[in-house]
Structure 1
Amino acid sequence: MRNVIVTDTPRADIEKVDKLAEYGVATVHEALGRTGFLGPRLRPVHLGSRIGGTAVTVVSWPGDNLMIHAAVEQCRPGDVLVVTTTSPSTDGMFGELFATALQVRGVRGLITEAGVRDVTDLDAMGFPVWSAAVSAQGTVKATAGAVNVPVSIGGQQIRPGDAILADDDGVMVVPRADVDRGLERSQVRLEKEEATRAAFREGELGLDRYGLRAKLAELGVEYVTAEEYGL
């Protein structure tokens, strides 16, 4: 890995990212063909937040938050800090002091494969965090890493400036070039879901709306009475 801090990276249009976030992670993920989800390990420290923003990426060594300090300087309003480590780590690399510095710069939240601490303070501040762990284990500031380089979390590549969406369902990335497509397809999916919701409220069954009775028959599923089954 090259130890660099890349400055002035291009970012997705923040107004479009804001609109995309309104649809929610689950809807956008489905609309884009079930791609971009960073996996179930990343969970919100506190429920109830929904954010969208542009990625500032960090590669740190386990138990070392030096490069997070370096990344703060590169953050702009509307950004989301995305932190990964060179090998697995659950140390509490981020806490209330970092959140204070990022809030002043207009950063909307943190996504990290590592751990965080000061969770009560983070909640009181209203600073959203999605992490793989909560840990009081402290860190050092000793090893070079990188800022604003492509990273991988949960098998998904995240490039600086990509759109990051996060809510209670998890976190996903939408490549900068796919934001417009995400908006179009998410609106189509939302309208489809609204029509289905209305049908369900009228009593229609998913078996009929989705044409699943034929699928059951195709798979050899039989309808039998309790007596026929021997109950």
Structure 2
Amino acid sequence: MIEDPRLLSIREGFARPTAKQVAAFRDVPTGFVCDAMDGRGGMGTAISPLLDAHIVGCAIVAENGPEGNLATLGAVHIMQAGDVIIAAMRGGQTVAAAGDMVLAMIRNKGGAGFVTDGPMRDLTGIRDVGLPAWCSGLNPNSPYATGPGRVGYGASVGGQTVESGDIIVADENGVVVVPHAQIDTVIARLDAVRAAEISLEAKVKAGFSEQAKIVEMLADGRAVIED
């Protein structure tokens, strides 16, 4: 028999990205970031933006239960300016992870944005607050601040493992997680990704459409055209 867990556990001593590392992702499309991570890193399609925006910041993971928000409130308590709160709901879709008032508190502390794998509510108010948010949809039901919950650790969100201290990049296409240990490697690859994208875009605008790989596959028999 185990003892009941603490209602809330908070860890503040996780490694944070430097301001220079965060700045390296400013205005970088999420697609470029994924390309720099071998085409991976994006959260599941269900997590989509409520407002059109591009953000980048340090992840503060709030691990809630499927109907709770105590960890989210704890994350607001310890967050720093520029952070992105990641509210994990353990797959819960029956209550809103947050509404306009929680987002207003995050904005008031200088937060960059809010991401959850659960729904949200108070859309009109959220638009007035103006803080970028990504979620699975909308639901008017209220969460309970009863715990248990953990802040400053990690959680699975949208098919990605997110640790506090990772970098979050999010835009109209979705949310990407850059693991803390890979930040410098991903930054080093971004220039090559940009160059390849610019080159291909120029070719396509000039009329390019040939698919060399398909031509090669047809030539060597790996692909066939059937009548």
Partners of 1:83 and 1:143 in 2: CA distance: 13
RMSD: 1.9
Check if 1:83 corresponds to 2:72: no
Instruction: Tell me the alpha carbon deviations over residues 109-160 of structure 1, each in whole angstroms, 9 at most, x when there is no partner.
Output: 1110111111122122221110012111112222221101111123321111
Distance of 1:156 and 1:206 partners within structure 2: 35
Q: TM-score, normalised by structure 1?
A: 0.88
> How many residue pairs are counted as aligned between the two chains?
221
Of all paired residues, the percent bearing the same amino acid is 25
Contact kept? 2:63, 2:154, Cα under 8 Å: no
> Does the CA-based 8 Å contact 1:164-1:173 persist in structure 2?
yes
Of residues 157, 163, 188, the one that matches 2:192 is: 188
Structure 2: unaligned runs, 5 residues or longer: none
Give 3-state SS (helix, strand or coil) of 2:137's partner. strand
Matched residue, 1:61: 65
Equivalence for 1:220: 223
Distance 2:68 2:209 in 1: 53
Q: Secondary structure at the match of 2:43?
A: coil
Deviation of residue 50 (structure 1)? 0.7
Task: Give every structure 1 segment of 4 or more consecutive aligned residues whose post-TM-superposition deviation is greater than 6 Å.
Answer: none
Indicate the residue corresponding to 2:161 in structure 1: 157
| Length-normalised TM-score, structure 2 | 0.90
Kept in 2, the 8 Å contact 1:14–1:78? The answer is no
Mapped partners of 2:22, 2:44: distance in 1: 20
Cα pair distance change 1:120/1:216, threshold 3 Å: farther
Alignment of 1:68-107 (within 5 A): 68-107=72-111
What is aligned with 1:17? 22
Note the 1:1-16 alignment, pairs <5 A.
3-16=8-21
Amino acid paired to 1:111: V
Q: Is the 8 A contact 1:31 1:189 kept in 2?
A: yes
- Cα deviations across residues 69-99 of structure 1 (Å, max 9, x unaligned)? 1111110011000011245234112111111
1:32 aligns with 2:34: no
Q: How does 1:127-138 map to 2 (within 5 A)?
A: 127-138=131-142
5+ long unaligned stretches in structure 1? 224-228
Mapping of residues 203-214 of structure 1, within 5 Å: 203-208=207-212, 211-214=213-216
CA distance in 2, matches of 1:136, 1:162: 30
Against the structure 1 CA distance between its residues 61 and 51, is the aligned structure 2 distance closer, same or farther, given a 3 Å change threshold? same
1:20-44 deviation line (CA, Å, top 9, x unaligned): 2422111110121122111111011
2:117 is equivalent to residue 123 of structure 1:
no
Superposition pairs for residues 135-146 of structure 1, below 5 Å?
A: 135-146=139-150
Deviation at 1:53, TM superposition (A): 0.5
Deviation at 1:219, TM superposition (A): 3.1
1:43 to 48, 59, 62: 48
